[in-house]
Amino acid sequence: MRRIAADGDVRLACQLRPRGNLRVAPLLSPPVTAESPHATTANDPGHEKVVAVMFCDMRGFTAMADQRLPFDVVFLLNRYFSVIGRAVESSGGRLDKFVGDGAMALFGLETTPGEACRNALSAASAIVEGVRSLSNDLAEELRATINVAIGIHVGQAIVGSMGYGAVMNVTAIGDTVNIGSRLEAAAKEFEAEIVVSEAAVRLSGLELPGAEAREIDIRGRARPLGVLVVPRGAAMPIVLPAK
């Protein structure tokens, strides 16, 4: 016990020889387990991994919502979120979170970086097509066009279970995530649907016909980041091979 500087009345559990029933008081809260109602789908203590991050946001949502009843706003968002959710999951990604009218998704948690980038681009293509279809379906009611802005980047990130209680989820943090968010903002600035980093396109092995090469400044980086900008209305059919 001298090695751990314990008091004289402290003993390691392995040294005890109980002669009767004992009452135990845990000093630390037990970890969330798979049987717990607050368990995550994947209990990850944290590690570094190369992932592709996608951010998606609806253009002009605030102005659109201000002119409609709460019921209509919720209906629109749920239809919009279902488009994103189906696109991400069918492309092998993981929905990370919805915030307002925005969404974040991760690709590559269980795949190679190249496959992660292909999956992210496939999901982006499906989202653009799905939102166009949704906009056409609701054109008479909305009297406005639904547009999206999508940013995609790839790089090293810290991945793990983060949060509290029922909102504990596997997510990613780090510079890669911040840049992905910045590329979504750049899509709005360029009036484009998708802005993807050159690194993500290069790793994907895919070509983006009609995309324009640009450079954007990233806070904290000495050099601009090379990106490809997919203009609004451009065709970007990316279909992954069936497994």
With cut-offs at 50, 70 and 90, classify the pLDDT of residue 121: very high
Distance CA 55, CA 69 (A): 27
Classify 179 as helix, strand or coil.
Answer: helix
Domain map (residue ranges) of the chain: 51-231
pTM for the full model?
0.78
Residue 29 has pLDDT above 50, yes or no: no
Please tell me the predicted confidence (pLDDT) of residue 26: 55
Please tell me the predicted confidence (pLDDT) of residue 59: 85
Please tell me the predicted confidence (pLDDT) of residue 5: 63
Residue 40 has pLDDT above 70, yes or no: no
Q: Are 175 and 155 in contact (CB under 8 A)?
A: yes
Classify 160 as helix, strand or coil.
Answer: strand
64-68, 226-230, 232-236, range with the lowest pLDDT? 232-236
Residue 240 has pLDDT above 80, yes or no: no
Please tell me the predicted confidence (pLDDT) of residue 37: 40
Question: Average pLDDT in the 69-90 region?
Answer: 91
% of the chain residues with pLDDT over 70: 82
Classify 198 as helix, strand or coil.
Answer: helix
CATH architecture under which domain 51-231 falls? 2-Layer Sandwich (3.30)
CA-atom Rg of the chain in angstroms: 23
Residue 196 has pLDDT above 80, yes or no: yes
Residue 187 has pLDDT above 90, yes or no: yes
Distance CA 179, CA 114 (A): 18
Please tell me the predicted confidence (pLDDT) of residue 174: 95
Distance CA 196, CA 187 (A): 9
With cut-offs at 50, 70 and 90, classify the pLDDT of residue 166: confident
Please tell me the predicted confidence (pLDDT) of residue 25: 62
Helices marked H in the chain: 61-66, 70-90, 113-137, 139-142, 175-189, 198-204
Question: Average pLDDT in the 113-126 region?
Answer: 95
% of the chain residues with pLDDT over 90: 52
Q: CA–CA distance from 79 to each of 76, 85, 91 (Å)?
A: 5, 10, 19
Q: What are phi and psi of 98, to 5 degrees?
A: -110, 130
31-40, 51-60, 227-236, range with the lowest pLDDT? 31-40
Please tell me the predicted confidence (pLDDT) of residue 72: 85
Residue 87 has pLDDT above 90, yes or no: yes
59-63, 116-120, 217-221, range with the lowest pLDDT? 59-63
Residue 78 has pLDDT above 80, yes or no: yes
165-182 residues labelled b (16+ CB within 10 A) or e (exposed): eeebbbbbeeebbbbbbb
Amino acid at 24: V
With cut-offs at 50, 70 and 90, classify the pLDDT of residue 66: confident
Q: What share of the chain is helix, strand, coil (3-state, %, to 5)?
A: 35, 25, 40
Question: Average pLDDT in the 50-74 region?
Answer: 86
Long-range own/partner contacts, residues 209-218 (CB < 8 A, 24 or more apart)? 210/234, 210/235, 210/236, 211/236, 214/190, 216/182, 216/183, 216/186, 218/179, 218/182
